[in-house]
Amino acid sequence: MDRRRFLHASALIGGASLLSPHSAQAQAPALITRDAMRPQMPHGIQSGDPLADAAVIWTRSDRPARLWVEWSTTASFAHLQRIRGPHLLEDSDFTGRIDLRGLPAGQELFYRVVLQDLRNERVLSEPVPGHLRLPQAAGAKALRDVRFVWSGDTCGQGWGINESWGGMRIYEQIRRVNPDFFLHSGDTIYADSPIEAEVKLADGTLWRNLVTEQTSKVAETLDEYRGRYRYNLMDANIRRMSAEIPQIWQWDDHEVTNNYSDSKDLSGDARYTEKHVPLLVARATKAFQEYAPMRRFGDAESERIYRHLPQGPLLDVFVVDMRSYRGPNSPNLQTEENAESAFMGRPQIAWLLEGLKRSKATWKVIAADMPIGLHVNDGKDAEGRDKWEAIANGDDGPPRGRELEIARLLSEIKKAGLYNIVWLTADVHYTAAHFFDPAKAAKHTDFLPFWEFVSGPLHAGGFGPNKADGTFGMQVVYQKGPGYANAPPSSGLQFFGQVDIDAKTQAMTVTLKDLEGSALYTKTLSPALSRKRERE
């Protein structure tokens, strides 16, 4: 756009024209048309990947448009900043984002999103307001408390949006605790779970889902994968939370298809006409990256998910990817690390170790999409042996298979004297607190004790609890699940976790919560300032 067109467009989006549709109409009647003629944002807005001086703002248009964002540190939008964003076109399903940079560290940020119609640039959408709270800068002296929540698994096993039940109610509970951010631990959609209009419950009543063409079957085409994200954003609870709370997304398997790896074979699955898993992965990856409010890495690593998101002096978040670099799901009994036993892969493990060593934050959270020591089965191989989807292999002895990679990571953490590391995860559709104790490990004891907390599902079938593997001395301190397969959301067995870090004591308190926001289990961890057991 040349300078004259840019100034013209800026004038159209400026000042009172965004503050109120009434003042806009009075000042510039030529810009105001019937609502149906304006660009719309039917799927709301999202913010994500917050840093002290940056945040991503996302939306989706219903037509070709340009994205604009205004932001201010006051709700009145005094001294606002206006940022021109990208064109939203068919090649991205009309989605787009702006990575706001140079923001004031630690501030409340008020923003509003406007779309400019590309067929008539004098036509603007109604502004959609949003809010986020930026983390403090790493060197901040006057510390403030940190609060965030995590969970995973949305719209799985055929449980969709039941508006008469209140939709995806757990997202409203998350919004109400007013966290600094929400960590979605994976399975952001269930591309492999069709959603039917009605599901008969055990008591004989009917669960009634909203349905769309794209959710009526397993996702195979790009539009069907995109349609899964559009479906989730039809839920008012998700849209409301997304406009107020920044998110950090990672993915697991259901963004593509259940338990996929290099050994995934769809030849016997009649639901799929497209049998080539790599092609499904390509389509699913594009859809995920279009809809995730996530900062992109650029052409050097355009599809990378793992990343480091500093959240101030008290917290560093390391988001890992346990899906993209793994070897095939197998009996998982290799005796040395190789391509078959890879889980996160050597480059990612090296990145994680280096980041943990450099971190000066009190707490280091490893956001994992799968648990370390729970049995997660993936059927049988050709010889009738159990195959494994996660890290554990059903053998409580010394590390083998994918456990070798985790054993090396844990040993290097101990060697470097790195404390205050907590693992958070979801995936198994129940909630739990696990303590890993080298004194209880069968053979491998070369690691520091640590905690792992599990939560989920957000809105999917409840399962578990799963069996525990003893290789790393995992102790189940607390767990709650239905004890049967595919408990509906109406059972109440939906969970999220809340983390609070106290600015004065720097203690971390982890609370596991249910669908109604009630606390089920609480554990307070004191920061380890010397070589002492983190369990104290």
Which ranges of 269-390 would DSSP assign to H, the alpha helix?
277-291, 346-358
**Amino acid present at 372:** I
Work out the burial of residue 105: count CB atoms within 10 Å of its CB; fewer than 13 is exposed, 13-18 middle, 19 or more buried: middle
pTM of the model: 0.93
Look up residue 235 and give its two tokens.
């839920």
Q: What is the CATH number assigned to the segment(s) 146-525?
A: 3.60.21.70
CATH 2.60.40.380 assigned to 3-133: yes
CA distances for 234 relative to 163, 191, 227, 270, 306, angstroms? 11, 16, 11, 29, 28
Strand 108-117's sheet: what is its strand order? 81-88, 65-72, 108-117, 128-133
In 374-518 the beta strands, taken as DSSP E runs, fall at 377-380, 386-388, 421-425, 431-436, 450-454, 474-480, 495-501, 508-514
In 381-468 the beta strands, taken as DSSP E runs, fall at 386-388, 421-425, 431-436, 450-454
pLDDT of residue 289: 98
pLDDT of residue 529: 59
Give the side-chain half-sphere CA count within 13 A for 435: 14
CATH 3.60.21.70 domain position(s) in the chain: 146-525
DSSP state of 503: T
Q: Whole-angstrom Cα distance, residue 83 to residue 420?
A: 39
CATH 2.60.40.380 domain position(s) in the chain: 3-133
3 state SS of 88:
strand
Q: Whole-angstrom Cα distance, residue 460 to residue 457?
A: 6
Residues of the chain with pLDDT under 50: 1-33, 530-536
pLDDT in tens, 247-306: 999 999 999 999 999 999 999 999 999 999 999 999 999 999 999 999 999 888 999 999
3 state SS of 10:
helix
pLDDT of residue 300: 86
pLDDT of residue 36: 67
